[in-house]
Structure 1
Amino acid sequence: MLTPLFLGLAISLSLATAGPPISPRIAHEVRRSAPARWTPVRRAGPDILLPLRIGLKQSSLDSLESYLLDVSHPESPNYGKHWTPAQVAETFRPSAEAVEVVRDWLLASGLNSSKIKLGPTGGWIQATVTVTEAEDLLSTEYYIYQLNQGDEQHLACKEAYHVPQHVSKHVDIITPTLHFDKKIKRSDPAGSIPRIAQFGTGSAMEMLVDPVEDIGSNATGLDNCGSQMTLACIRALYDFEYKPIATHKNSIGIVEYTPNVYIPSDFDEFFGNFSASQVGQRPTLVSIDGGTLDVNETDISWFIEPNLDLQYAMGLVGKEQKVTLYQVGDVIGNGSFNNFLDALDGSYCTFEGGNDPAFDGIYPDPVPGGFKGPNQCGGAPLPYVVSTSYSDDEPFLTPAYMQRQCAEYAKLGLMGVTVLYASGDGGVASNSGDCLTEDGQEDPGAPRFLPSFPSTCPYVTSVGATQVNPGAKLTEPETACDQHIFSGGGFSNVFAMPDYQKKAVRTYLEKYPPPYAPDIYNATSRAFPDISANGANYLVVILGSIFHVFGTSASSPAAAAILSGVNDARLAVGKGPIGFINPAIYSSAFEGAFNDITNGTNPGCGTNGFSAELGWDPVTGLGTPNFPKLLQRWLDLP
């Protein structure tokens, strides 16, 4: 049912009224050039229709961090008093003034009032315009970009777009403009807008090594964990021997993006070897925007990530705890982070519950085999812990886009959700080995470190990778992972350093100053990872064979399972979930609760990267989980 405010806004959008004088235009977003390997090949046709979407500034965002700290910091009297979705939606709803100012600007620019619509949550305004109209409105030029050595194309404006100064303060972001963040559809209908190739929401580049012919007695043994990581090894490493008792209250989720899917029969073989009581068990599927397991694929690459994530998350939490699989996007391979966030939080959705068709999956999907239903807008169950082993490079997106998405992770934290992301497998470089030139371009021979997103968002928990050294015993300390992958870590070029980690990072930089020029990395910004877990030699069943798999892709679901155990214990005694954990784990209340990793580096960009040292470091964060200590610290909190 629409509130009086929404009814008034909807009515006002249908009326053509004279707006205020247009103030001077200013650049709202700028990027000096397209992402690496993308080249403008021609001007966009003037009559191409663009579904222009204007993301309005949300109310109270300047208080978002303080709200989150209020329910997340162990010294706060409101620790653990998480918000309801309705509280979140009402607190951050854009103001009526923002709607009116943007509407008046569009009308004064000559757009017909019938073209201008307000989304149901009040967060976005849509206006379907031609390229010519968009160029006039935004003082920019649209081009068709093409991926070098490929036929993928994308429509975007060049270098910058502009809005009147008095409008700018009410606008977060306008799309489609400068953003290159769309997963490719493997086929598109004739005459559709050219789309971008698959971006970094692929896996965190987990490394698949040759099949394991014989696991011997190591299915449940601990003698060969340095070369064969199993459920038993993870449990022993982190003293995670816990039998859940509040499973009906608890929840944990794993996010996958179609056509990356798990193979049911592989689960039976995996559990048959490593957790016999779970043979026949499957995750609970929550399909988002046509998410399906039926993809008719044969390439092993599509099955690595989901099999890894789910075999270990399910195996570690045990038979009694339900694990939810959020399968995002249809068989065309069109899902994105935003599609997932839309489904969790209806207030995040764009116009009519969809997204921008230049970047995110839009449904109904006209491609044969595509999902014919509408975009999901809210309604998906909120997990208490959610792990995602997919990432992107910061330079591939724009700051405004990342900041808007990052704010949504903070809202999930307000609602009691712990959000984990794999930190990446390229050390201080990207997963593909790229680094940054002086002007911010991605290039494998460049000198500047390249951070990954969403790990650089200060409202998620970033998980790096460690290893048991070959031949070492489990009682010996782990080191930073250096087999096949390097733990992603470093400093953001977009997000400021949050208060909760300033002391820990300052201590690292003062005691162990990295030997690099100031322009190689941004020492004043958000640092990552926050924690780490083993990421080497995981035994995973894929297409009926057991493989070694490496990566922070393994670390994140393992850490999620352990934190889910903490939630179970708290829920069992009548307390709430741990929610956003970063303010707690960086506080003095959690000192010594992680296994500190003091050996290893994360090379990249022609350097040794950073070094793992005493205390927090930008390789392994605060260290790996010590479950009994973490459990007691969180049980001591309200």
Structure 2
Amino acid sequence: MFIHPLSVLSVLASGVLDCLVATPVEPRWDDVRTKHAWSAVPEHWETLGHPAAGTTIDLHIALEPQRKNAVVDALYDVSSPRSPKYGAHLSREQLADIVAPHPDTLALVVSWLKHHGVRPSSVSRSHGGGWLTVADVSMSQANSILSASYQLYRHAKTNETAIRTISYGLPVELHSHVKTVAPTTHFSSPRMSRHTPRVRRRAGTTAPAKAAAASVDLGRGLSRRDDMEPVTPSFLRWLYKTEGYKPAAIDRNKLGIAGFIGDSPSPLDLRLFMTANRADAETATFNVILINGGRYDPNTPSVEGNLDIQYTGAMAFPTPLTYYITGSESGTDPYLSWLNFMLSLDDKELPQTISTSYGGFEETLPPDLAKSVCELYAHLGVRGVSVLLSTGDFGVGKDCTDGSGNTRFRTMFPASCPWVTSVGGTMDCPEVGASLSGGGFSNLFSRPAYQGRAVATYLENLGSRYDGLYNANGRGIPDISAQAHQCVFVHRVEDFTAEGTSFAVPIAAGIVSLLNDYRLSKGRTPLGFLNYWLYDFGIANLGLNDIISGSNPGCNTDGFTASTGWDPVTGLGTLDFVELIHEL
């Protein structure tokens, strides 16, 4: 197994600014207006006072691009089968051209930073100049630059700490030029954002080899499985019709798994899992890449790390797997660190498919930060990457009270970003929607055009039920779904079963990776952003198993109900590999 330590900060540092030019007329830098603020310290967080003397952070500044909507337009061009440019994904350099800020924006922001004593050598650029990183900023300087009051905070439930401020501001002159600054007011706890599955030790088993005995006879006459029978890779490969496919482009096709907050997989557990559940894949392994201070210890694996690597591997073997472990050095938002690193990669280094099983409730994020991070996911799509994210395990919400005390269904970010493919959960055979399946409508992102017809049909049938509890104009999730109940896995050489969309995402990502393998083996480009393609076929009932029963209760309600077509429990349904390759 190859471990390749890399730092996202070193990548950012490679683009040092070479155009620090003051604007002709110095603006009023003291005319400051709030950019974002919380009315109080977010729930479960408590202040520990000022950070220790000498503490520094890196500030990441997102700039408005010169060409508005250029990324979304490019994403449609390369991702929609209706476009004459379908499949013509952009290179890193081509993407940089369309996301670059106006020279006046860059000059203005640089002038502001110089006004606050920022040394040119501490400023670097990424994403075509669309983001600036100011390295090693002292607490007093950060407070001055952002009219902030940074404190050290601790999360009462996880005991993790973070340097944050409950408000920050920018000069009025900059509000139309700067989209967001991080880290500032983002208090969402990464540990609480993990979609931790509900784990149960396998009754009567003491070693993973016994999992083989639980395998089901998957004759084509199977119509329904006993509720107590566990979900195994053999069943999944039969159910989604991938069992007869042998990957043919493993020299080009790659599958990535995003890991955060110290999650790590175990090579030993992977081998034991494959021995028990997919004997032809006993040699399965994976690479590890460390980002921004991420640490890997195979002797202390996490549940999340293990199940992610085991199910992507089981579905896509022998496709090469890479597990990306992202830390949070310098207080950087982990999603931002991971995206910065991935987008810095050369085109040949990028995996064509990525599985991510993390997220947090939308209202815990500053809207400007969420929207800026969402756009970076669009950057990956433009470059030909299929990104899949889980929708969470709380149905329509763990509770219905948002940060303002209003009663609303809750949706998860980044799954609610329109430029990723969100994955909900199913169970049983024939499949029904799993009650835990996160689903609903975004309060941050409006409904994208590709969803218009599918979601409108569902809402017409829903009528006035739940009026006021959700945003009827919001982006709907999930887009697709996969099995998420009674899944077997191996953890620290013991057998377990668990449920959660943390299983659904690697299962779906494994299928998508096989679709990308098929395209690459035929000399075509990878699928890239999936949703334009999926909704075309979903509406036409091609290549997707429509799930028409099940619901996702929460917030003291029955939640939404699965139905014909798209629904906010299972999306368009589950993937039928054989039917989909006929459409490639």
* Counterpart-to-counterpart distance in 1, 2:272 and 2:537: 44
Q: Are 2:476 and 1:478 aligned?
A: no
TM-score of the pair, normalised by structure 2: 0.86
State which of 550, 558, 564 in structure 2 corresponds to 1:600. Answer: 550
Structure 1 residues 422 and 589, CA gap change in structure 2 (3 angstroms)? closer
State which of 140, 155, 158 in structure 2 corresponds to 1:147. Answer: 155
Contact 1:55 1:124 in 2 (8 A): yes
Deviation track 1:73-114 (CA, whole Å, cap 9, x = no partner) reads: 111111111111111122212232112112333445xx2353
Task: Map 1:7-86 onto structure 2 (within 5 A).
Answer: 10=18, 12=20, 19-22=26-29, 24-40=31-47, 51-86=58-93
State which of 239, 244, 248 in structure 2 corresponds to 1:245. Answer: 248
Q: CA deviation at 1:237?
A: 1.3
Structure 1 residues 125 and 330, CA gap change in structure 2 (3 angstroms)? closer
| Alignment match, 1:409 | 377
* Counterpart-to-counterpart distance in 2, 1:314 and 1:391: 22
Q: CA deviation at 1:295?
A: 5.7
Q: Are 2:119 and 1:114 aligned?
A: yes
* Counterpart-to-counterpart distance in 2, 1:332 and 1:168: 25
State which of 349, 362, 367 in structure 2 corresponds to 1:399. Answer: 367
Task: Map 1:431-510 onto structure 2 (within 5 A).
Answer: 433-437=398-402, 439-440=403-404, 447-468=407-428, 474=429, 477-482=430-435, 486-510=436-460
* Counterpart-to-counterpart distance in 2, 1:322 and 1:51: 33
Contact 1:116 1:126 in 2 (8 A): no
* Counterpart-to-counterpart distance in 1, 2:143 and 2:331: 30
Q: CA deviation at 1:279?
A: 1.6
State which of 157, 161, 164 in structure 1 corresponds to 2:165. Answer: 157
Contact 1:28 1:161 in 2 (8 A): yes
Percent of aligned pairs sharing the same letter: 33
| Alignment match, 1:124 | 132
Structure 1 residues 562 and 112, CA gap change in structure 2 (3 angstroms)? closer
* Counterpart-to-counterpart distance in 1, 2:456 and 2:518: 34
* Counterpart-to-counterpart distance in 2, 1:147 and 1:271: 38
Structure 1 residues 225 and 562, CA gap change in structure 2 (3 angstroms)? farther
| SS class of match (2:470) | coil
| SS class of match (1:570) | helix
Q: Are 2:526 and 1:577 aligned?
A: yes
Structure 1 residues 253 and 130, CA gap change in structure 2 (3 angstroms)? closer
* Counterpart-to-counterpart distance in 1, 2:295 and 2:117: 40
Contact 1:481 1:600 in 2 (8 A): yes
* Counterpart-to-counterpart distance in 2, 1:35 and 1:628: 48
| Alignment match, 2:356 | 388
| SS class of match (2:61) | strand
* Counterpart-to-counterpart distance in 2, 1:488 and 1:177: 28
Aligned partner of 1:80: which letter? G
* Counterpart-to-counterpart distance in 1, 2:262 and 2:537: 43
* Counterpart-to-counterpart distance in 1, 2:297 and 2:135: 36
Identify unmatched segments of 5+ residues in structure 2: 1-14
TM-score of the pair, normalised by structure 1: 0.79
* Counterpart-to-counterpart distance in 2, 1:527 and 1:586: 12
Deviation track 1:582-623 (CA, whole Å, cap 9, x = no partner) reads: 011112586212111111111111111111111101110000
Q: CA deviation at 1:337?
A: 2.1
Q: Are 2:338 and 1:340 aligned?
A: yes
Contact 1:594 1:626 in 2 (8 A): yes
Deviation track 1:537-559 (CA, whole Å, cap 9, x = no partner) reads: 11112222221121111111111
Q: CA deviation at 1:234?
A: 0.6
Aligned Cα root-mean-square deviation (Å): 3.1
Q: Are 2:182 and 1:205 aligned?
A: no
Q: CA deviation at 1:285?
A: 2.9
Deviation track 1:301-321 (CA, whole Å, cap 9, x = no partner) reads: x532222122222122233x2
Q: CA deviation at 1:125?
A: 5.0
| SS class of match (1:98) | helix
Structure 1 residues 239 and 31, CA gap change in structure 2 (3 angstroms)? same
* Counterpart-to-counterpart distance in 2, 1:306 and 1:409: 22
Task: Map 1:230-309 onto structure 2 (within 5 A).
Answer: 230-241=232-243, 242-257=245-260, 259-289=262-292, 291-294=294-297, 296-297=299-300, 302-309=301-308
Larger CA deviation: 332-341 vs 224-233: 332-341
Q: How many residues end up aligned between the 2 structures?
A: 554
| Alignment match, 1:325 | 323
Q: CA deviation at 1:176?
A: 3.6
Q: CA deviation at 1:174?
A: 2.0
Q: CA deviation at 1:138?
A: 3.6
Identify unmatched segments of 5+ residues in structure 1: 1-5, 184-197, 347-376, 469-473
Task: Map 1:164-183 onto structure 2 (within 5 A).
Answer: 164-181=171-188, 183=190
Contact 1:157 1:177 in 2 (8 A): yes
Contact 1:59 1:94 in 2 (8 A): yes
Aligned partner of 2:288: which letter? L
* Counterpart-to-counterpart distance in 1, 2:294 and 2:184: 27
* Counterpart-to-counterpart distance in 2, 1:290 and 1:165: 35
State which of 543, 561, 569 in structure 2 corresponds to 1:619. Answer: 569
Aligned partner of 1:511: which letter? N
Larger CA deviation: 558-567 vs 146-155: 146-155
Aligned partner of 2:233: which letter? L
| SS class of match (2:310) | helix
Contact 2:381 2:528 in 1 (8 A): yes
Q: CA deviation at 1:458?
A: 0.3
* Counterpart-to-counterpart distance in 1, 2:533 and 2:416: 18
| Alignment match, 2:101 | 94
Q: CA deviation at 1:492?
A: 1.1
Q: CA deviation at 1:467?
A: 0.2
Contact 1:292 1:331 in 2 (8 A): no
Aligned partner of 2:412: which letter? S
Deviation track 1:461-520 (CA, whole Å, cap 9, x = no partner) reads: 00000000xxxxx4xx211113xxx001111111111110011111101012362232x2
Deviation track 1:142-172 (CA, whole Å, cap 9, x = no partner) reads: 44444346755444333x3322222111111
| SS class of match (1:174) | strand
* Counterpart-to-counterpart distance in 1, 2:329 and 2:168: 34
Q: CA deviation at 1:48?
A: 6.5
Aligned partner of 2:198: which letter? M
Structure 1 residues 333 and 304, CA gap change in structure 2 (3 angstroms)? farther
* Counterpart-to-counterpart distance in 2, 1:547 and 1:47: 46
Contact 2:381 2:419 in 1 (8 A): yes
Contact 1:389 1:421 in 2 (8 A): yes
State which of 498, 502, 525 in structure 2 corresponds to 1:553. Answer: 502
Aligned partner of 1:387: which letter? S
Q: CA deviation at 1:23?
A: 8.3
Q: CA deviation at 1:564?
A: 1.5
Contact 1:53 1:126 in 2 (8 A): yes
Aligned partner of 2:380: which letter? L
| SS class of match (2:426) | strand
